[in-house]
Amino acid sequence: MSNYNFAYLDEQTKRMIRRAILKGLAVPGYQVPFASREMPMPYGWGTGGVQVSAATLTPEDTLKVIDQGADDTTNAVSIRKFFERTAGVETTEETEQASVIQTRHRIPEAKLREDQILVYQVPIPEPLRFLEPRETETRKMHSLEEYGLMHVKLYEDISQHGAIATSYAYPVKVEDRYVMDPSPIPKFDNPKMEMAAIQLFGAGREQRIYAVPPYTKVVSLDFEDYPFEATKAEHACDLCGAEDSYLDEVIVDDAGNRMFVCSDTDYCRSRRGAGHVGRLAQEEVA
Amino acid sequence: MTQTQSISFAGGFYDAPVAASHAFRAAMTAMARPGDIKVIEGAQPPKGLSVAAGSLLLTLCDPETAIFLASDVDSPELRGWLTFHTGAPFAPAEKADFAIGGWEALTPLDQFKIGTAEYPDRSATLVVEMPELSNAGPILSGPGIKETARLSLPSLTEFQGNAQLFPLGLDFFFTSGSQVAALPRSTSVMAED
Ligand SMILES: [Zn+2]
């Protein structure tokens, strides 16, 4: 442990990331370039999120790490261990107990508080990238608020599928100015982004940091005749009975039987702990 | 001369990584919640600069950032202290990434970088030393603020003009003693009624 600086990164790198975070907060939704460092984990393991967390954590923080809503995946466990070792922080699986939450692809179901910070791991920060591969062009488009192509793409969805098919990384407009990629969260989570906590986004490979301050206006792009819908599977959780949480469909046996369970494992566990019972849990009881 | 040097070497962060993490949390929270007043400490800058401003500079400045010292805070002692603890170069106002001073000495604001259309982040951050900070005076609204907030800003029109430049513009920290508050360019400022 003593071979590492606090939270692994050297101080000069942290200062550079911290300056980028401050500018990101000052211009919500704008992607601030930063010089991403090699981390002792491969890209795709959230090196952008890890660097933002490393620059943000204090020794008194309690860190939670989730991967698609779950605390116990290899990715989440190793990031948690990394910060236990290099920053000496406490870790938790309980959303309520956490002061900093690093996430890949979900926003917790529990309402986040003003004293919490949510750090997103972002694979592709540029929402216009699939329309325009050139960075110089996308920068120009953002500077001129040229977001017409984005609407055309969504509208093509409607003409082909009868609805907007994009269900992850659904683009949002932040404070009526920048179109932003919310990272590959399900669009069910988009409305939660108007929250009390500070939201920070880190993309390691693409070297971008962006931010959404608390209570910032975050609007999912849509059309008057096709309003945005925060959809989820039309079921209740089979374990805890929740009707308001995002669900994963899981195959449970060789016969191909399925069940729906909360993707947010802490939310599901705390509901069951409070005595809520879902369809399959009832069968077990009976 | 000997005395100047001994002052310069003292007053840095004790256990820099941890002190800087605490100071940054205060700075980030202030910038994310315009109007909130936070405690920021750890540095002991030479006379003439607040603990808050000194702690901010040690947290954010290094050889990559150019610092402008306004005439009211500029001194050989402060230059020596900043050089020793941050290695940051000094620059005229128009080239500065960070500018430090009292409000009068920092104005006019149009001498500072406001970023470019494609890189609005390439703008100056001003650290304004204040006699005191309180949640009174002009009404703030915008990102980071639930409904409205109040902060004892040193002016009204300059900040309204700066907000008009959004997404370009300057971002401000206000420091007094060991307190810090912030006003990013995204905040709308109205006169109190
Ligand atoms: Zn459940």
Task: Give residue-wise pLDDT tens across range B118-176.
Answer: 999 999 999 999 999 999 999 999 999 999 999 999 999 999 999 999 999 999 999 99
Packing angle between helix B51-60 and helix A11-26, nearest 10 degrees?
A: 110
Q: How many domains does chain B have?
A: 1
> What is the pLDDT at residue A1?
41
Cβ contact B25–A56 (<8 Å):
yes
How confident is the model over B23-37, as a mean pLDDT?
98
pLDDT tens string A14-71: 999 999 999 999 999 999 999 988 888 877 778 999 999 999 999 999 999 999 999 9
User: Beta strands B67-69 and B98-102: pairing type?
Assistant: parallel
> Is residue B125 assigned to a domain?
yes
Q: Please, what is the average pLDDT of chain A?
A: 93
pTM, entire model: 0.96
Q: Is the pLDDT of residue B188 over 80?
A: yes
Task: Give the CATH number, domain containing residue B136.
Answer: 3.40.50.11310
DSSP per-residue string spanning A129-195: TTT---HHHHHHHHHTT--HHHHHHHHHHHHHHSS----BS--EEETTTEEE---S-BGGGGGGGS-
How confident is the model over A178-185, as a mean pLDDT?
97
> Is residue B167 assigned to a domain?
yes
| Residues on B contacting A at a C-beta cutoff of 8 Å | 16-18, 20-22, 24-25, 27-29, 31-33, 59-62, 64-65, 117-121, 123, 125, 142-146, 166-167, 171, 184-186
pLDDT tens string A252-265: 889 989 999 999 99
Local confidence band at B4 (pLDDT 50, 70, 90 cut-offs) = very low
pLDDT tens string A200-216: 999 999 999 999 999 99
Residue among A193, A189, A191, A230 nearest A210 (CA):
A193
In terms of residue numbers, what domain contains B168?
3-184
> Is residue B101 assigned to a domain?
yes
> Is residue B148 assigned to a domain?
yes
Determine whether A49 is an active site residue: no
Q: Is the pLDDT of residue A152 over 60?
A: yes
Reported ipTM? 0.96
**Of A49, A69, A240, A278, catalytic:** A240
What is the 3-class SS of A193-259, one letter each residue?
HCCCCEEEEEECCCCEEEEECCCCCEEECCCCCCCCCCCCCCCCCCCCCCCCCCEEEEECCCCCCEE
> Is residue B138 assigned to a domain?
yes
Q: What is the CA radius of gyration of chain B?
A: 16
Cis peptide before B167 (omega within 30 of 0): yes
> Is residue B193 assigned to a domain?
no
Cβ contact B17–A6 (<8 Å):
yes
> What is the pLDDT at residue A45?
79
Residue among A84, A168, A99, A76 nearest A127 (CA):
A168
State the best of B15, B28, B166, B183 to mutate against chain A, taking most chain A CBs within 10 Å.
Answer: B28
> Is residue B191 assigned to a domain?
no
How confident is the model over A185-205, as a mean pLDDT?
97
Instruction: Measure Cα distances from A236 to A111, A164, A216, A281 in Å.
Output: 19, 24, 30, 12
The string over A215-254, giving b where at least 16 C-beta atoms fall within 10 Å of a residue's C-beta and e elsewhere, is: bbbbbbbeeeeeebeeebeebbbbbbbbeebbbbeeeeee
Q: Please, what is the average pLDDT of chain B?
A: 95
Determine whether A268 is an active site residue: yes
pLDDT tens string A79-131: 999 999 999 999 999 999 999 999 999 999 999 999 999 999 999 999 999 89
> Is residue B144 assigned to a domain?
yes
